[in-house]
């Protein structure tokens, strides 16, 4: 039986989703059940076409593991050295995922993994996520979908963001879906099409600054709130060419390193956090002003930064909706689970209107565990 036949129909389908983001917090894992909506319920109108039910979730922190040091090294590794890191990471993810599945008490139909991005330069036709090797499926006993970005980049797209394809299916009742991770990104519907893009830096700047004083992140944004904003830098950051580019557009760690790090070195940690947090809020509100009116669903780890959320609210004057904690923690892992399911159904999971690629596609490499 072809995989597309095995995963046809309306469900339920149980999927495991894995996500490791630029914030370097850890590996997010979730077990989620999807069902296709066959008949709309008039008592509860919705524009969604699928439902989801989170069955289990877990984040395995990198702190305290060898990957706290190995992943940063991967950003500068090349050739055989990078390939070796990728294989080792795939083996580790495989072991962690198998333990998660066993402890969850559920039997999934398939697994989907994003891998960990170490290089993203789509304008040069390059994106690399480590951990997408066949080793990922070793002994896992089900189909494994990974490497979602490369094919779109080869078609001239950004290879990002990918989650908006899922927003259109699961979260269509919100005007905008805003995620606050390493970078902020948003997706929205306009004229019957889904659009999206990265907006600016968030935790990719804030977390390393907090770590300079021995803290994993700026807890609730208290350091930023007590710091002094360097207004000269704030105005200079607004002139970065990325903010004048039209959507679709995406960001990578290299961009953040190039435009921010050397400017911040003479500031105290609190002042640097204050300046970067204000810039993050500005970048988000600046983008939101040009997007459709309506409710904004906010997810991602940056949501726990009270000072950042307050500044976004003040600058954008938008209604920000916060979901339950489990969705906040694992929306991206959940989304890659859905992207994997769509790939197994041979349905579109890459939107050209979002990535700028030459066409919609069903992307992802499938390994049989």
Say whether 354 sits in a helix, a strand or coil: helix
| Predicted local confidence at residue 41, as pLDDT | 57
Local confidence band at 46 (pLDDT 50, 70, 90 cut-offs): confident
What's the fold here for domain 172-325? Answer: Nucleotidyltransferase; domain 5 (3.30.420)
**pLDDT by residue (tens digit) across 187-202?**
999 988 999 999 999 9
CB 350 within 8 Å of CB 43: no
- Mean pLDDT over 362-366 rounds to 98
CB 20 within 8 Å of CB 115: yes
pLDDT at residue 25 tops 90: no
| Predicted local confidence at residue 129, as pLDDT | 98
Pick the range with the lowest mean pLDDT from 160-164, 284-288, 326-330.
326-330
| Predicted local confidence at residue 52, as pLDDT | 96
| Predicted local confidence at residue 196, as pLDDT | 94
Is cis: bond before 203, omega within 30 of 0? Answer: no
Q: What percent of the chain has pLDDT over 90?
A: 88
**pLDDT by residue (tens digit) across 258-278?**
999 899 999 999 999 999 999
For the whole model, what pTM was predicted? 0.90
**pLDDT by residue (tens digit) across 301-317?**
999 999 999 999 999 99
| Predicted local confidence at residue 339, as pLDDT | 99
| Predicted local confidence at residue 79, as pLDDT | 96
Average pLDDT, the chain: 95
Pick the range with the lowest mean pLDDT from 311-315, 317-321, 327-331, 348-352.
327-331
Instruction: Show the tokens assigned to 157.
Output: 């797209």
CB 349 within 8 Å of CB 165: yes
3-158+330-368 is classed CATH 3.40.50.261: no
**pLDDT by residue (tens digit) across 54-66?**
999 999 999 889 9
- Mean pLDDT over 196-223 rounds to 96
- Mean pLDDT over 231-256 rounds to 95
Is cis: bond before 12, omega within 30 of 0? Answer: yes
Pick the range with the lowest mean pLDDT from 33-47, 148-162, 208-222.
33-47
| Predicted local confidence at residue 327, as pLDDT | 87
- Mean pLDDT over 112-131 rounds to 96
Phi, psi of 228 (to 5 degrees): -110, 130
pLDDT at residue 183 tops 60: yes
Instruction: Evaluate whether 3-158+330-368 and 172-325 have a shared fold.
Output: yes
pLDDT at residue 181 tops 80: yes
Local confidence band at 95 (pLDDT 50, 70, 90 cut-offs): very high
- Mean pLDDT over 10-19 rounds to 98
pLDDT at residue 76 tops 70: yes
Question: Where exactly are the structural domains of the chain?
Answer: 3-158+330-368, 172-325
| Predicted local confidence at residue 286, as pLDDT | 97
CA distances from 247 to 180, 188, 192, 243, 287 (A): 18, 12, 16, 10, 10
- Mean pLDDT over 41-57 rounds to 82
Alpha-carbon distance of 115 to 86, in angstroms, equals: 9
CA 198 from centroid of its chain's CA atoms: 10
| Predicted local confidence at residue 40, as pLDDT | 61
């Amino acid at each position: 039986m072809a995989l597309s036949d095995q995963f046809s129909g309306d469900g339920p389908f149980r999927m495991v989703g894995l996500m490791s983001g630029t914030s370097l917090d850890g590996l997010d894992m979730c077990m989620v059940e999807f069902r296709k909506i066959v008949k709309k319920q008039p008592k509860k109108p919705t524009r969604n076409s699928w439902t989801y039910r989170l069955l289990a979730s877990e984040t395995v922190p990198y702190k305290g593991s060898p990957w706290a040091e190995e992943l940063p090294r991967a950003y500068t590794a090349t050739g055989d050295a990078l390939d070796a890191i990728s294989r080792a990471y795939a083996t580790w993810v495989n072991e962690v995922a198998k333990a998660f599945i066993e402890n969850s008490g559920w039997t999934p139909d398939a697994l989907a993994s994003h891998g960990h991005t170490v290089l993203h330069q789509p304008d040069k036709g390059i994106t690399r996520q480590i951990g997408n090797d066949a080793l990922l499926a070793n002994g896992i006993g089900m189909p494994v979908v990974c490497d979602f970005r490369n094919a779109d980049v080869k078609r001239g797209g950004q290879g990002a963001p990918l989650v908006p394809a899922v927003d259109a299916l699961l979260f269509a009742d919100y005007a905008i879906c805003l995620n606050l991770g390493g970078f902020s990104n948003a997706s929205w519907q306009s004229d019957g099409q889904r659009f999206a893009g990265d907006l600016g830096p968030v935790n990719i700047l804030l977390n390393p600054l907090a770590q300079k004083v021995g803290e994993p992140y700026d807890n609730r944004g208290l350091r930023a709130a007590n710091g002094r904003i360097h207004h000269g830098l704030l105005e200079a950051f607004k002139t970065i060419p990325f903010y004048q580019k039209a959507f679709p557009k995406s960001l990578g760690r290299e961009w953040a390193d190039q435009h921010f790090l050397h400017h911040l070195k003479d500031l105290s940690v609190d002042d640097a956090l204050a300046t970067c947090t204000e810039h993050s809020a500005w970048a988000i509100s600046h983008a939101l002003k040009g997007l459709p009116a309506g409710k904004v669903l906010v997810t991602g780890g940056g949501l726990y930064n009270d000072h950042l959320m307050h500044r976004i609210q003040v600058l954008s004057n938008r209604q920000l909706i916060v979901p339950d904690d489990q969705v906040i923690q694992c929306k991206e892992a959940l989304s890659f689970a859905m992207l994997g399911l769509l790939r197994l159904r041979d349905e579109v999971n890459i939107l050209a209107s979002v990535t700028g690629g030459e066409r919609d596609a069903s992307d992802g490499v499938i390994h049989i565990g």
